[in-house]
Amino acid sequence: RVVHLADYRPTDFVLERVDLTFELDPEDTKIESRLIFHRREGADPQAPLVLDGDELTLSGLLFDQIEMDADRYTATASSLTIRDLPAAEPFEVTVTTIINPTANTKLMGLFRSNGIYCTQCEAEGFRRITYFPDRPDVLAVYTVNIIADKEANPLLLSNGNFLGGAGYGDGKHFAAWFDPHPKPSYLFALVAGDLGLVEDTFTTVSGREVALKIYVEHGKEPRAAYAMDALKRSMKWDEEVFGREYDLDIFMVVAVSDFNMGAMENKGLNIFNDKYVLADPETATDQDYAYIEAIIAHEYFHNWTGNRITCRDWFQLCLKEGLTVFRDHEFSADQRSRAVKRIAEVRHLRSEQFPEDSGPLAHPVRPTKYREINNFYTTTVYEKGSEVTRMIATLLGRDGFKKGMDLYFDRHDGDAATVEDFVKCFEDANSVDLAQFSLWYNQAGTPQVTVSSAYDEKASTFTLSLEQVVAATPGQPTKEPMVIPLSFSLLSDDGTVLTPSSVEGGKVAGDVLQLVERSQTFVFQGIASRPVLSLNRGFSAPITLHYPQSKDDLAHIARHDSDLFSRWQAVTDLALPALTAAARNAASGAAVESDDALADVVVAIAADESLEPAFRAQVLALSSEADIARELGSNNDPDAIHAGRQTVLASIAAHGEQTFKTLFDTLNAAGSAYSPDAAGAGRRALRNSALLYLTFVEKSPARAAEAFAKADNMTDLSQALSILAHQFPDAEETRAALASFETRFADNALVMDKWFQIQATIPGDMALDRVNALLANPHFKGENPNRVRSLIGSFAFANPTGFNRKDGAAYDLLASQVLDIDGRNPQLAARLLTAMRSWRLLEPMRADKARNALMRIESAETLSVDVRDIIERMLQA
């Protein structure tokens, strides 16, 4: 049941090659798999061959082409065991299975989406196609033959290079593919059906021409242009920045509409959730464009970090995911505004990963045990994993990091590697010891760093005392001190940087100090005037910092730091006390005093033309309700947090009315043709935040309704709609806008997802009724993961007041939905359930209701392993 890292051992048999023949049929697909094995040197000569299966039935088994005696094997739905195998010489096993892709609602293995055959094999989906050693350290070369009805499936695709194909007399045809790069089964892919094609080429740095093909539903070809552009930019960037060239003659991307996750990096044949491929100004927001760019890059970058070098076992998932997220973050930072990108990353990390790391589902970046690996595709593995990679780069510097990466590519190309292998490359290339640093992979929990400082004018010294604590997490009651790289700057009165003549007390390299003890004191010598310390600049370490700085000092950082991220952080630190105080006051019924100093700073930044618009919009966005809840700690009342935050927004709005009017009018008038680039996106973001603030002053839906009517792109249109819906849910203007949006986009599933999402996130007690009504809406499709996430996921993850209704009825709705969805798509159900991972932090009445709903799930008669794993961890004391 439970898989442990410590139990890893290599397979007894080495797989030499794989020949697959698929005879596709919507309900009766036949797969013949010829596998050539030999026993591994030194392996037990008696050991049987055990192949994995999942819901399979065996319909044929040959040994060296001859039917195998029934007493030599045992087949169950989940395994095929073959005995009496040769001690040394290679042998061939031919396995035949028959599966029903149409009935495959789990969307793992081979399934159909909108009439298209497609696969998802990571992590353990290949075993739903055929019996196989379905683990990432079994690498083999694959030949794939696909036979299918020609009219329904003109397109037959698999990994690698196209070998050839031809028609048969009976209306069928076949295609053969050969992938010369040894790969694990999770990177296998097959696509068949009738799709439209967008083509381009890319010439690699060494002059090879690669055919680029993006397949989408017929008629949607124009919406794949941006993805193609992002792909070409990704290929170039990986050559320039990481020295990585593409290695096949063809690179394909296929967009499908039913997909459990974002996308999948199958060798040479990436399969995407179409949400992350399709875009045009009329139907996609700036956020959609940014995601497409990032995910196209992410999957492409996996070709080296994931495919050429893969994972030894699934415990090493962060080896490919954390690293590849880091690579896609760097790519987007280079394509857009680095600082704004960093702010968005940190916001995301804090709102998604920090709660995970402090709740019942906390686990190390590299876990040591799992019951269901699908539940470990988490923001800890991905985003914290990326931050850990970033810290290596921070500690070793640009060149040291590059040396380590080059060694990694050199040393491990073709390997199924481990986190230790990866770390060792940085150690060897830089002659450093990263043993203590590696705790970041093994210890769960967000380090809390408490800081105090003192300035001694006579001695010209600045003393900094730091203390780190990592709270207990499930299975890890005590923790060792970590290596915490903290980028810092000492700002003088006039904003210039003070450089110490020397530093005592620990390691400091350039502008990064290393906290490595539980508590440590650094003394900076030769500091001529009292400095203002800016710490953890650029978010150099994924920690929570507790450093009580005065409002004046924060305002000083907000004005003077050369790191824009730190300026944003300083404003956030200024605003957070006002937001938490407002929440407390709302809870106790006390009047909220407006904080003019805060409003001054925020409005001044909004008006500051020397700052890029996207940055100003990030400042105006303030902390989310979830951020405020986290700051308040436990005993959370979401209604009070919401009400308090609204009053702070209103007071900033009143204070800056003129600024917001001017901003809105000038940005509106600037109206040039839409372009999805970062600068245009930033202007729209600023304009739309100005619009939001103005509605607080005007207390009328008129301006948003007008913006809705005039919008010529989906960013402005959906922002106007969401302001209408969220601020004026009962207004006639809102009803009309929702109806017109629905009529206009009824045929566009991705846009209708937005329509569901906007309504599911309208705050307040009425949200539940709205969600129930939307569940019964003819547009709601319970089989489509995007639609389920847009309605139920948005409600549970992104509507704190609506979801946390006092009577607990929304928890019950989620419980019922999870149980229902679990019957067809366990992965999706388990993911939705994690929305309740912070239930213990709610005030007691709500927490009690939440527990009841969770216990109802736990006591259900049948639960998937996925949901059982999550529910049991969430309820554990």
CA distance from start to end of the chain: 21
Token code pair at residue 755: 């329509």
| Residue among 138 and 490 whose Cβ is closer to ligand ARG | 138
Distances (CA, A) of 88 to 56, 68, 224, 253, 603: 29, 19, 51, 41, 76
Residue type, 77: A
| Residue among 123 and 707 whose Cβ is closer to ligand ARG | 123
Binder of residue 52, out of Zn ion, ligand ARG, none (CB less than 5 to 8 A by kind): none
| Residue among 318 and 558 whose Cβ is closer to ligand ARG | 318
| Residue among 311 and 434 whose Cβ is closer to ligand ARG | 311
Kindly determine how many residues on this chain lie close enough to bind ligand ARG according to the rule CB under 6 A.
11
Contact between 32 and ligand ARG by CB under 6 A: the answer reads: no
What stretches of 484-542 adopt beta strand conformation (E)? 484-491, 502-504, 508-509, 512-515, 519-525, 532-535
Cα–Cα distance measured from residue 798 to residue 858, given in angstroms and rounded to the nearest whole number: 24
Binder of residue 374, out of ligand ARG, Zn ion, none (CB less than 5 to 8 A by kind): ligand ARG
What stretches of 100-228 adopt beta strand conformation (E)? 109-113, 116-120, 140-149, 155-158, 161-167, 172-183, 190-193, 196-203, 209-216
| Residue among 296 and 841 whose Cβ is closer to ligand ARG | 296
Distances (CA, A) of 423 to 380, 481, 515: 18, 19, 20
Stretch that binds ligand ARG, among 82-90, 258-266, 385-393, 778-786 (CB under 6 A): 258-266
| Residue among 122 and 357 whose Cβ is closer to ligand ARG | 122
| Residue among 37 and 377 whose Cβ is closer to ligand ARG | 377
Phi, psi of 622 (to 5 degrees): 50, 175
Find the shortest distance in angstroms from Cβ 296 to ligand ARG.
Answer: 11
Cα–Cα distance measured from residue 877 to residue 871, given in angstroms and rounded to the nearest whole number: 12
Stretch that binds ligand ARG, among 263-271, 360-368, 695-703, 785-793 (CB under 6 A): 263-271
Contact between 119 and ligand ARG by CB under 6 A: the answer reads: no
Contact between 378 and ligand ARG by CB under 6 A: the answer reads: no
Cα–Cα distance measured from residue 783 to residue 789, given in angstroms and rounded to the nearest whole number: 11
User: What is the residue whose two structure tokens read 């940014």?
Assistant: 290
Find the shortest distance in angstroms from Cβ 324 to Zn ion.
Answer: 5
Residues whose CB is less than 8 angstroms from the CB of residue 410 and which lie 6 or more positions away in sequence, other chains included: none
Kindly determine how many residues on this chain lie close enough to bind Zn ion according to the rule CB under 5 A.
2
Instruction: Determine the length of the chain.
Output: 877
Binder of residue 264, out of ligand ARG, Zn ion, none (CB less than 5 to 8 A by kind): ligand ARG
Eight-state DSSP code of residue 99: E
Contact between 188 and ligand ARG by CB under 6 A: the answer reads: no
Cβ 312 vs Cβ 136: under 8 Å = yes
User: What is the residue whose two structure tokens read 């407002």?
Assistant: 582
Residues 303-322 that bind Zn ion (CB under 5 A): 321
Find, among 186, 181, 177, the residue nearest to 21 by Cα: 177
Residues 217-236 that bind ligand ARG (CB under 6 A): none
Residues 278-307 that bind ligand ARG (CB under 6 A): 298-299
Neighbours of 501 (CB within 10 A): 10
Eight-state DSSP code of residue 495: S
Alpha helices in 270-415 (DSSP H): 286-301, 317-335, 338-348, 354-357, 379, 385-412
Binder of residue 351, out of ligand ARG, Zn ion, none (CB less than 5 to 8 A by kind): none
Cα–Cα distance measured from residue 793 to residue 833, given in angstroms and rounded to the nearest whole number: 9
Cα–Cα distance measured from residue 659 to residue 657, given in angstroms and rounded to the nearest whole number: 5
With CB under 6 A as the contact rule, the residue among 134, 217, 258, 321 that binds ligand ARG is: 321
Contact between 123 and ligand ARG by CB under 6 A: the answer reads: yes
Find, among 783, 785, 848, 792, the residue nearest to 817 by Cα: 792
Find the shortest distance in angstroms from Cβ 127 to ligand ARG.
Answer: 13
* Sign of the torsion angle spanned by Cα atoms 788, 793, 795, 796: positive
Find the shortest distance in angstroms from Cβ 375 to ligand ARG.
Answer: 9
Cα–Cα distance measured from residue 308 to residue 331, given in angstroms and rounded to the nearest whole number: 20
Binder of residue 122, out of Zn ion, ligand ARG, none (CB less than 5 to 8 A by kind): ligand ARG
For the question of residue 843 being annotated catalytic, the response is: no
Stretch that binds ligand ARG, among 261-269, 273-281, 333-341, 664-672 (CB under 6 A): 261-269
Binder of residue 97, out of ligand ARG, Zn ion, none (CB less than 5 to 8 A by kind): none
The burial class, CB within 10 Å (0-12 / 13-18 / 19+), for 209 is exposed
Stretch that binds ligand ARG, among 172-180, 236-244, 259-267, 624-632 (CB under 6 A): 259-267
Binder of residue 377, out of ligand ARG, Zn ion, none (CB less than 5 to 8 A by kind): ligand ARG
Find the shortest distance in angstroms from Cβ 299 to ligand ARG.
Answer: 6
Cβ 53 vs Cβ 127: under 8 Å = yes
- The interface mask with ligand ARG, positions 79-118, x = CB under 6 A, is ----------------------------------------
Contact between 374 and ligand ARG by CB under 6 A: the answer reads: yes
Find the shortest distance in angstroms from Cβ 124 to ligand ARG.
Answer: 8
Token code pair at residue 265: 């990096």
With CB under 6 A as the contact rule, the residue among 192, 264, 419, 850 that binds ligand ARG is: 264
Contact between 122 and ligand ARG by CB under 6 A: the answer reads: yes
Contact between 377 and ligand ARG by CB under 6 A: the answer reads: yes
Find the shortest distance in angstroms from Cβ 341 to Zn ion.
Answer: 18
Side by side, the strands of the sheet bearing 161-167 are 66-67, 58-63, 91-99, 29-39, 13-23, 140-149, 172-183, 161-167
One of 265, 293, 299, 321 is an active-site residue; which one? 299
Binder of residue 851, out of ligand ARG, Zn ion, none (CB less than 5 to 8 A by kind): none
Cβ 723 vs Cβ 704: under 8 Å = yes
- The interface mask with Zn ion, positions 323-352, x = CB under 5 A, is -x----------------------------
Find the shortest distance in angstroms from Cβ 862 to ligand ARG.
Answer: 21
Binder of residue 728, out of ligand ARG, Zn ion, none (CB less than 5 to 8 A by kind): none
Contact between 628 and ligand ARG by CB under 6 A: the answer reads: no
Find the shortest distance in angstroms from Cβ 356 to ligand ARG.
Answer: 15
Find the shortest distance in angstroms from Cβ 307 to ligand ARG.
Answer: 10
Find the shortest distance in angstroms from Cβ 688 to Zn ion.
Answer: 31
Binding interface with Zn ion (CB under 5 A): 321, 324
Binding interface with ligand ARG (CB under 6 A): 122-123, 261, 263-265, 298-299, 321, 374, 377
What residues are annotated to the active site? 299
